[in-house]
């Protein structure tokens, strides 16, 4: 086969165009080879397999054979020139045929994107804030209090409801005197001040006593998920059936046993809480600094990204969103999830992936076997039988690849922290753990 091709022309930052010519004689020869091969096994009524006349095979399968021959020729021509010019193609090329020239050649253009050229930047002027927090008695006490609240019980009370109490109510909501969907319930338990209902409704619960009925207005937020109620003021009627006061368990041997301390030793309980808390705090601090590092890498490498990769990532994110909804038991066939919703996130992910890959390659930050093992063992510590979890990871290539990716990320973070301007900043425990919500 003979072919001619111009230098890849740049049509945008990452888009390229290659013009190609393929000899018709070569196409014809390939078509004949394909048809001859097919004729050896072709079946047709009235003929034994492999005995169908070549002319009839060509009539029935000639169009498909020619299409396949042309596709293969263009693919070979494209691949050869891409390798010659050292181009890294992102996605699939768009092949555009040109008008026939009548000189025995088929002419095509291939339009495609290439990966951006990335040079690892100097991070010496990049600012990275590293959150720090030491776990001490105060943090253990706060965690212990949170564990007590998780085991909170409620007892009947004759007093008016106050914050943290639980009320059991019947209610009905009306808009312009007409009941609206979702605005009615019976025997509805509600913890006062927990933020489960809109603010006006929640506030109206304080002061209620069992047996009382109350009428009040509620204004829904402008961004309320129900469009018919967003920004609207409605009227509610509430009948209070019960007021129950919260009761926290005592911190005693029984409480310690409920946390898995077999002998009920309170000192052991606190030590166990501290160990688990240190592990969780470390994980959250590492996640924060990793986010800071990734932001710094993006800021230092303002590169264009191939549209093809962004579109592929957007489609994958849309599929993941649907899968998540399906796991929640929702009928996803009736839920439109458009890849375009995820474009901004996809651009960030693709750009970050390209930049991190170049940093890993340029700075030789690939994960070592012992680093991967450390990631797996650290994760396994949260299970009852860590050795079983480690064996499971090493028997699952996909899971082990995830551990390797985490080890590589840790290497990138360590490299960035060693080269950027790092400022340590103490972080509030409640804010780090999300206890301010």
pLDDT digits 0-9 by tens, 295-310: 999 999 999 999 999 9
Residue segments in the chain with a per-residue pLDDT below the cut of 70: 1-12, 102, 332, 435-437
pLDDT of 99: 81
Pick the CATH number of 9-114 from 1.20.58.110, 3.40.50.11440, 3.30.70.1050, 1.10.3720.10: 3.30.70.1050
Say how many CA atoms lie within 13 Å of 73 toward its Cβ: 27
Task: Provide the CATH number for the domain formed by 127-136+264-433 in this structure.
Answer: 1.10.3120.10
- What are φ and ψ of residue 186, in 5° steps? -125, 150
Q: Alpha helix (H) ranges present in 151-240? A: 199-205
Burial of 377 (0-12, 13-18, 19+ CB in 10 A): middle
Indicate the average pLDDT of the chain: 90
Distances in whole angstroms, Cα of residue 422 to Cα of each of 100, 131, 275:
63, 10, 27
pLDDT digits 0-9 by tens, 213-267: 999 999 999 988 888 899 999 999 999 999 999 999 999 999 999 999 999 999 9
Cα of 376 vs its chain's centroid, Å: 21
Task: Provide the CATH number for the domain formed by 153-247 in this structure.
Answer: 3.10.50.40
CB 16 within 8 A of CB 113: yes
- Whole-number Å distance between alpha carbons of 209 and 206: 9
Start-end of CATH 3.30.70.1050 domains in the chain: 9-114
Start-end of CATH 3.10.50.40 domains in the chain: 153-247
Say how many CA atoms lie within 13 Å of 79 toward its Cβ: 6
Start-end of CATH 1.10.3120.10 domains in the chain: 127-136+264-433
Unique residue bearing structure tokens 């986010």: 291
């Amino acid at each position: 086969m003979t072919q001619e091709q111009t230098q890849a022309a740049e049509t945008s930052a990452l888009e390229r165009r290659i013009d190609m010519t393929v000899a018709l004689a070569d196409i014809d020869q390939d078509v004949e080879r394909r048809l001859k091969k097919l004729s050896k096994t072709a079946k047709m009524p009235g003929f034994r397999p492999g005995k169908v006349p070549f002319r009839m095979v060509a009539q029935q399968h000639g169009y498909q054979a020619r299409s396949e021959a042309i596709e293969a020729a263009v693919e070979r021509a494209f691949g050869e020139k891409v390798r010659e010019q050292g181009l890294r193609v992102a996605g699939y090329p768009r092949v555009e045929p040109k008008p026939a020239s009548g000189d025995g050649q088929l002419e095509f253009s291939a339009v495609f994107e290439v990966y951006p050229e990335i040079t690892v930047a100097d991070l010496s002027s990049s600012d990275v804030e590293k959150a720090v927090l030491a776990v001490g008695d105060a943090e253990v006490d706060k965690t212990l209090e949170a564990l007590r609240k998780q085991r909170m019980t409620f007892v009947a009370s004759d007093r008016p409801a106050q914050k943290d109490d639980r009320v059991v109510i019947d209610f009905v909501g009306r808009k312009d005197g007409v009941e609206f969907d979702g605005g009615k319930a019976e025997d509805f338990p509600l913890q006062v001040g927990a933020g489960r209902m809109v603010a006006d409704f929640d506030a109206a619960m304080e002061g209620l006593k069992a047996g009382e009925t109350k009428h009040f207005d509620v204004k829904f937020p402008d961004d309320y998920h129900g469009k018919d109620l967003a920004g609207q003021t409605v009227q509610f009627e509430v009948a209070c059936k019960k007021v129950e006061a919260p009761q926290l368990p005592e911190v005693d041997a029984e409480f310690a046993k409920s946390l898995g301390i077999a002998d009920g030793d309170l000192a052991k309980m606190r030590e166990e809480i501290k160990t688990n808390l240190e592990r969780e705090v470390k994980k959250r601090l590492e996640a924060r600094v990793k986010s800071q590092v990734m932001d710094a890498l993006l800021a230092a490498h303002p590169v264009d990204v191939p549209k093809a990769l962004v579109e592929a990532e957007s489609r994958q994110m849309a599929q993941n969103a649907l899968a998540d909804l399906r796991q929640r038991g929702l009928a996803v066939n009736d839920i439109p999830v458009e890849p375009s919703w995820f474009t901004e996130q996809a651009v960030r992910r693709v750009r970050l992936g390209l930049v991190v890959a170049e940093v890993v390659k340029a700075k030789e930050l690939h994960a070592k076997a012992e680093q991967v093992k450390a990631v797996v063992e650290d994760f396994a510590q949260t299970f009852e039988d860590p050795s079983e979890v480690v064996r499971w990871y090493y028997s699952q290539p996909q899971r082990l690849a995830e551990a390797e990716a985490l080890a590589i990320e840790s290497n990138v973070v360590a490299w960035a922290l060693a080269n950027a301007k790092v400022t340590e900043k103490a972080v509030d425990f409640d804010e780090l753990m999300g206890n301010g919500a």
